[in-house]
Structure 1
């Protein structure tokens, strides 16, 4: 009679066959972290799956024993005669008996969760249940986890799903949210694009990946890696009719693995990236090869910089010769763009004030705080360039209750009307979070432009050409420069 723990038998079989945990993970279809828990006695496999798990393990170990000619060692280990023909059977018997022994002596508290699926009906109850689940699971989510949403961003917006993810930015977990998006629906109503921008800017520590795919936007399934699966049905009035909740660890992981492949095989319309690169043939080089641009800047004005400010930046980051050369080339491209290109800037008033007071900007891929003398020089330099190129214009969103989301946002938008990217304010994200989103789908780029054109129709938006800016500058120059000096000394 076997009187050894399941973990002990597993370790002995792994040792005698010299089998890696990764091999067992591939054989059983479980993540290697689960195999490690079984081997170390932290958890036991779920009872409902133990038979098939043990059968796969027995076959794997038996093949290894037979191939290496170690049936005699196995006989000693099990204290029963083992031959090539009986190896798989004997291993299966030992694993099954060890599992029963562990369950009997340690109870079910060490078993992997195997809770039956819960079914919740009615929009009110389903909404409350999903809200509770997300608040609990997201609060304790492992850094870098994935949330797979087989549903359409716009439809989920209609049922108020995105409220489930609301956490204070400083406590929000760093997770990647994969979700489908119906670009046709997005293009028909700018409210969806507006809310998409607001959500991207509000949830800075989340990383969104959006996919324009019929397969990924109609599944009505939400999968939180290692946590749960929720399937839901929608009623015609944009409400949830019924939802099913699954928390069985093994089943959740199996569903996750199957559907993660569906996302991995699709090109994202919007994806987070750690850096845009400043290489000779990098993203920025291609991006700044156009002749028409739109920039919505919320984190400082990282264009029209005087040469002295760029030199200070390079000295501050201790740039290598290669980086100095690459930024120099980028600066040349920007100078050419500003000399003859059509460039439209849009800035919230709070962004302008914040820059005047702090000098903070996210320049290329680095944070930079420009000193007071260079900030004054920057303003004058920008005016000089605008005077030479009348195709440079500036729009300002005045502070108001109606436009409050745009005053507090920390997500800038850069577009050449074919490609685009977003830039987060690094002061409000974790170091591990990607500070950029690349918009790789032209239709999605067009949707964002349609949204910003709508912003320009708001009464709080004011558009300025060079003469208007010059007049404002002369009117407020003294106040601006005193403010710069005041905060520089603070």
Structure 2
């Protein structure tokens, strides 16, 4: 009885001694497909069988030539040569005979009811799932996918081609993130942004964006101008799954197909990732050490907006700068960092004498700083002594007297009940350039510490958001006289707090 395709393929691989995994890599399929073909569970699709058989024949022919088993092969498979082979045409003849053998048994058995396995264009039925209806889709995201992220400790990289303005207009993205308890220490999420939507975004967009970045501080969010992938409708997670979806007019997903086939996931990830062009990145996570030179030029602008979520690193006395410089040497920071510390002391003394500066300080943060003196300068954690904090306050009052354009805004807030309620992201803007800085005390992993804003519209949105905070009923402006009065009336109490909370050396 003549063998079928599965039996012939299995016979060929066994005779040539090749590994299915090596053959699978050569023809561009996952080894699971070849295993099914050899065991008769599935057959390749007729659409791609010509290419598949030719590639299999080429690989096996090369192996048989290396093993010098050409004529034993012809005897094993009862192939009679009508024309004598020559040294020049051996490989072509052998490849052709193997290819003919595979084609013959494949088409001879096509009438048999064997299910088709089209690995080139899609995946096996077990590898994909279509979910219909927004309620079912929400449940799928918040249970199955959230559970996957909660149990996966490997690095997680997620590409979302959807527009961040639209995604945050509804709570779907934030609800999903709230269901995820990432076990991985390295989570990167890449998102799209329609610049026209950003221009016209409602007042609620920026608070939602800041709150997302603030709450999920251990995730690195990258945001890109979506001009290269605006209509892709893809969510793909490297090495795990890919999803293709359609949107309703209310910006919620109506239908989506969830695919776990490894080959398809890899191809979709690579094709999608290459569209996230670095030059189109408008919000980029970076390490603080990468901004040491940038920071020196940043403060040369005469109009500054500074929101401090941890400590207060400005107006430090000279002795504190000396200790910071010593710390940078002790921790072997680069010479650029040491030079920056020296430059910053000079820059602040010069620029802060004439610049317009709005400082916004959350009340809970400034109280903590008064108590413990903890601040972060660049990547250096520093504790200001009681004497340094007192000198710093005196220097601030003196500078405000000399430069009335320095403003202190204290943002009253209820005491945070948990870390989600805390301000964890500082904001530094000179109107033209801006960045967000993470409070490292909240970081539990190797997350990058800075978000560099790289688009003027996004900078304008953030500037407006923080300027608007100054007009809130719970935001109070303090003059030099106000601060001096508070200092004099509470000098003894402040000094006792400073002394009590300053660690002994």
TM-score band, normalised by shorter chain: 0.7 to 0.9
Of the three residues 72, 85, 90, the one matched with 2:92 is: 85
Aligned-pair CA distance for 1:38? 11
Q: 235, 253, 256: which one pairs with 1:222?
A: 235
Distance in 2 (CA, whole Å) between partners of 1:273 and 1:78 is 62
Deviation at residue 363 of structure 1 after TM alignment: 0.4
1:454-483 deviation line (CA, Å, top 9, x unaligned): 222221111122222222222333322222
Deviation at 1:401, TM superposition (A): 8.2
- Report the equivalent of 1:301: 312
CA distance in structure 2 between the partners assigned to 1:160 and 1:6 by the alignment: 59
Q: How does 1:175-190 map to 2 (within 5 A)?
A: 175-187=187-199, 188-190=201-203
Structure 1 56/133 Cα, relative in aligned 2: closer, same or farther at 3 Å?
Answer: farther
Alignment partners' CA distance in 2, 1:339 and 1:263: 43
Per the alignment, do residues 146 and 321 of structure 1 end up closer, same or farther by CA in structure 2, a change over 3 Å counting? Answer: closer
Deviations 1:82-110 (A, max 9, x none): 9321455688899999xxxxxxxxxxxxx
Partner of 2:171: 160
2:379 to 356, 359, 365: 365
Of 340, 349, 369, the residue aligned with 2:354 is: 340
Which of 416, 423, 426 lines up with 1:412 in the alignment? Answer: 426
Structure 2 CA distance for partners of 1:165 and 1:356, relative to 1, 3 Å: same
Q: Does 2:281 align with 1:272?
A: no
Partner Cα separation in structure 2 for residue 350 and residue 401 of structure 1: 6
Match of 1:9 among 12, 18, 40: 18
Deviation at 1:7, TM superposition (A): 13
Structure 1 residues 273 and 402: alpha-carbon distance in aligned structure 2, compared to 1, 3 A threshold: closer
Deviation at residue 288 of structure 1 after TM alignment: 2.4
Of residues 232, 240, 247 in structure 2, which corresponds to 1:234? Answer: 247
Distance 1:88 1:254, change over 3 A: farther
Shift of 1:351: 0.9
| Cα pair 1:309 1:374 within 8 Å, conserved | yes
Residue correspondences, number: 450
Is 2:256 aligned against 1:255? no
Does the Cα contact within 8 Å between 2:142 and 2:179 map onto a contact in 1?
A: no
Q: Matches of 2:233 and 2:15 in 1, distance apart?
A: 38
Structure 1 residues 48-67: Cα deviation after superposition (integer angstroms, max 9, x where no partner):
8797896686588589x5xx
Q: How does 1:167-206 map to 2 (within 5 A)?
A: 171=183, 173-187=185-199, 188-206=201-219
The farther-off stretch of 239-248 and 169-178 is 169-178
Decide whether aligned partners of structure 1 residues 326 and 402 sit closer, same or farther in structure 2, where only a CA change above 3 A counts: closer
Provide Cα deviations, 1:277-319, integer angstroms capped at 9, x if missing partner: 365xx32233223111111110111221111111112223415
Provide the C-alpha distance between the structure 1 equivalents of 2:197 and 2:70, rounded to a whole number of angstroms: 65
Q: Normalising to structure 1: TM-score of the pair?
A: 0.79
Instruction: Tell me the secondary structure at the aligned position of residue 460 of structure 2.
Output: helix
What RMSD in Å do the two structures reach over aligned CA positions? 4.0
Q: Report how far residue 131 of structure 1 moved.
A: 1.5
Q: CA deviation at 1:73?
A: 2.3
d(CA) in 1 for partners of 2:208, 2:185: 21
Q: 1: distance between equivalents of 2:44 and 2:345?
A: 61
Are 1:291 and 2:298 an aligned pair? no
C-alpha separation in 1, matches of 2:60 and 2:441 = 56
Q: Quick one: distance in 2 between partners of 1:55 and 1:118?
A: 30
Shift of 1:333: 2.0
| Deviation of the 1:47 alpha carbon | 6.7
Q: What is the deviation of 1:359?
A: 1.8
Change (3 A) 1:225 1:72: closer
Kindly state the Cα deviation for residue 347 of structure 1 after the two structures are TM-superposed: 1.1
Please list every run of 5 or more consecutive structure 1 residues that lacks an aligned counterpart in the other structure.
Answer: 15-23, 98-111
Cα 1:126–1:382 shift into 2, 3 Å: same
- Confirm or deny: 8 A CA contact 1:371 1:488 kept in the other structure: yes
Q: Encode CA deviations 1:252-272: one digit per residue, 9 max, x unaligned.
A: 211111111111365211010
Cα distance per residue 1:29-76 (max 9 Å; x no partner): 78xxx89x999xxxx9x978797896686588589x5xxxx8642334
CA contact (8 A) 1:276 1:284 kept: no
139-148 or 411-420, larger mean C-alpha shift: 139-148
- Structure 1 pair 28–272 and aligned structure 2 pair: CA distance change class (3 A): farther
Kindly indicate whether the alpha-carbon contact (under 8 Å) linking 2:374 and 2:384 is maintained by their aligned counterparts in 1: yes
Does the Cα contact within 8 Å between 2:373 and 2:502 map onto a contact in 1? no
Structure 2, unaligned runs of 5 or more: 1-9, 75-84, 106-122
Change (3 A) 1:406 1:224: closer
Q: 1:355 and 2:362 equivalent?
A: no
Deviations 1:193-252 (A, max 9, x none): 001000001111111111122444443321111222223333234443222222222212
The DSSP-based 3-state class of the residue aligned with 1:396 is: strand
SS at 2:226's partner residue? coil
